[in-house]
Each structure stands twice: as C-alpha cells, then as structure tokens.
Amino acid sequence: MQDCFPRAFTFILYGGTGDLAMRKILPALYQAHRDDKLAKTGRIVAVARPELTSKEYAAWVDEHVQLHAQVTRDDETSWSTFLARLSYVSIDLASERDFGKLGAALNHEDMQDAVRVHYLATAPSLFVSICHGLAANGLNARARIVLEKPLGHDLASSRAINDTVGEVFSEDQIFRIDHYLGKESVQNLLALRFANALFEPLWRREWIDNIQITIAENLGVEARGSFYDQTGALRDMVQNHLLQLLAITAMEPPRNMTSDAIRDEKLRVLRALRPLDILDLRKQVVFGQYQSGFSTGQSVPAYSNETGVAEDTLTETYVALKVEIENWRWAGVPFYLRTGKRMPERVTEIVVNFKPVPLSVLGPSALSSGANQLVIRLQPNESIRLYCLAKQPGDGMRLQRVSLDLAFDRVFTGRSMDAYERLLLDVIEGRLSLFVRRDEQEQAWQWVQPLLATLGSGQRPRPYAAGTWGPAAASSLLASAGTCWREEEN
C-alpha cells in the first residue's frame, strides 16, 4: 500500500511560468499526484506576471511540462486530474497592493484546515517584496514558505533576507531548500553510516586517507548567462550543495532523526571547518573558467562568448578546494571538493578513500592495485559501490580491484521519488529535517567569505578546455598529497 499524505493544502507557486517551475516543481507535484501522495482536496495556485486565465495557464502547463513530467499514454487520466488542480493569478510580485488580489483568490476557495505553502521560485531580489505583500494581507498565517537558492550573494545580504523573512515567518515555517538533500542516495548515506556496524567504526581519521566530493555538469550556462555571470560556481554550488554534502558526510551520529538533531550535527561540522587564510587561498583553492572545446560530441563556445555573459568576465565556472575539519574524528584528513561546468560527464558523487594496509604480505600487487574505496553516486544513477582487492584466478598471488555494487534501481524495483518530490511532500507535512536552518546557512556563508573576497580582488580564473576535468592546477592540488581525483566514467 502506498503512503498517503492526506493533509489538505494550497500550494502557491510564485514564478509559476518560470524554468524551475516547468522543469522541476510542477513535474514533482505531478508525480506525487499520480501516485496518490497528495490530498484530493489539495490545489496548486500559480502566480506570475503574465496576464493569463487559469484555463490558459493549464494549457501552458499541458504544452510545456508534460515532457519533463514524463507523462505517458497510460497517464492521461492522472494528467487531466492534475491539470484540474491548477489555477492562476496574475500579479506584480514587486507590488504589495497586488497581493490583495491573491488573498481574495485564496480565501475564496481555501478549506479551513488547509495548510498554505508559499514556494518562491523567483529571483532572490523579489523575496523581500513578496514577504511584505504576504504580511500586509495576512497570508503568512497558517502557512509555510519555501526559499530557493541562492539566498543572497554574501553573508550580509543573506542575513538581510533572513531578517525580513523572519519578521513575517517563524523559523519553523521557513523551508530553505537544497534539492541535493532530498536525493535517495543522501538518505542512504545516513543509513549506511548509522544502521551498519561495519562502517561507522571505520568512518574516521585512523582509517580514511581522504574524501572527495564532486558535482560535475557537462552543460554550460545554457540560457542563464546573465544570471550566472552575477553568481558563479562558488555561490551557485559550493556555499550550498557542496558544503551540505560535506556536512552530512562528516557529521557525528545525531541523538535521533528529528530535524533539529540532524541539523545541529551538520552545524557542528560547518563550525569546525578550518578557516582559509591568504596562504591557504593560494595553495588550496583553484578557480577556473571554461574555454571553447568539445562537449557531448560537439563544438561549444568559451564561457565569455556565451549569450548574456560579459566579454571581459572574471566569473568562475569551476572551483576546486582542499578543506579540513578541526575535530577529533577528522583531524588531518583532507576533504577535496570540486564543481564545474562543461566537464566530460554529469556526475555527483562522494568518494571515500581508505588508507592502504600497513604492511603488504601478499606481494607488490597488493599496494599497486590501490586501497579500498567507497563511491556513493548521487547522479545520474544513484548507487553505492565498495571497491576491494581480490585474487585473480590462476597461479600466484596477483590482485585485482573488484566492486560490491548496490544499484538501487536493480535492488528496489519500485519507483524512487525524485528529490523535489520528496522535499515538497515534506513541506506539506511540515518536516524540516531535509531543509537548511538559518544558522547552518549563515555559517556556510561566513566560511566562504574569504573566497568571495579573493574573487572580488580581480583574480582571473584559470582557463580549461570545455569537455575536460578542469584546470591542471586542480590535479596538482591532489598530486602534492600523492593522490588524484577519481575520474572513472561509468
């Protein structure tokens, strides 16, 4: 029997005609609808500036969202009932007065016990005006608000946004979303560590040589050049996704699985990150920018030639860094983080490299074949793979690396929930565990501040050809410690 989420809700989607709504949010809501995980009385209200009727908006969704929602011929009934949930209100999100029109539309149809979810799939510059408009019309009561990244462009702007949102919503009403936290493999990382006696005793400096976390994209900036040129990889990926994955990988066992217990432990990791001084920034951080090259089998332009990007841009499309956590579990263990656009493949994974055996009694091949390695892949195909050494058939003791592979799509035959689907259901039910608390977010911004200052000083990022794994300096970062990035394509 499938789980059911019976709570009545009204989901208000700001930026309802935008790219995020089209590609992620509406498809995720449809998948939950199709599998009967949404209350029958729940409804979705899209809000945006274009002058459309609800019927015209449903037609727009029918045309633009079906492909992303993976609607098949067998889903025609589910799709039509999903479209029936939709309505549309046209307002100017920068005008408080327009929110009165939204309030009238919501109050006209809302059930008495329905929870309201305000999902801000808009530019962060609109967050403040939206919150003021909601408060002025009493739309923050009995409601939750979802904030998309990037929440500000530095620590000061992040605090300013949080202060404004905090005047209108209490902390337990605020859901700062990071969709990586909703991925099945991230949940399995917690299960792997805290439900298995095999791994937890080894999850420490005595047995682990280094940990690598990679978020690589084979695409460029696509149609988001003007936005990305004001953001860059550091703000877009490091401050949120990479540091959140680092915190989950390195956190201590929480006392239970409640939201604050989990987030308390992540915060302790972020507070234990050793700050980077000027010398560290030179030795432990690499910024890059892709040049022309070949990606996914075709010639692609340099970042500076992308539409919407300034010709003399200094924006980084690649970041690699070495960080350390100053606590007893991880002292002396380097964590290598990297993210970039126009990489050879799209992959997100956490690689745990264990230390080699202290003495080789099986001959030189025991050392030359490599140490044990645990690879937790988040995308494109979620899996966990443990690499061990085994004897090759035949005479002598020749060792070969083999893997124990847990591919979730083969072990668990049912459909796995998309990250956004899981997180949206959690918002409706009021579960905060997979969302970022304000103190977590601001601690991450505070740690990133010195890197932002370096970028602001006019430092030119190192060039790398599109379709490669980034600047040579990123490989040197690990080579100096006698190791290398895992770049095996699967």
Which positions are annotated as active-site residues? 241
Q: Is the peptide bond before 150 cis (omega within 30 degrees of 0)?
A: yes
| Interatomic CA distance for residues 393 and 94, integer angstroms | 70
**Secondary element (H or E) of residue 127:** helix 127-136
- The gap between the terminal CA atoms of the chain, to the nearest Å, is 35
Q: What is the largest CA-CA distance in the chain?
A: 83
| Interatomic CA distance for residues 302 and 307, integer angstroms | 11
C-beta neighbour count of 376 within 10 angstroms = 23
Those residues whose C-beta lies under 8 Å from the C-beta of residue 385, and which sit 6 or more positions away, are 374, 375, 377, 403, 404, 405, 406
| Interatomic CA distance for residues 127 and 234, integer angstroms | 21
Beta pairing class for 318-324 and 334-340:
antiparallel
Residues constituting the chain: 490
C-beta contacts of 259-268 below 8 A and 24+ residues apart: 259/431, 259/432, 259/433, 259/435, 260/432, 260/437, 262/433, 263/432, 263/433, 263/436, 263/437, 263/440, 266/440, 267/437, 267/439, 267/440, 267/443, 268/327
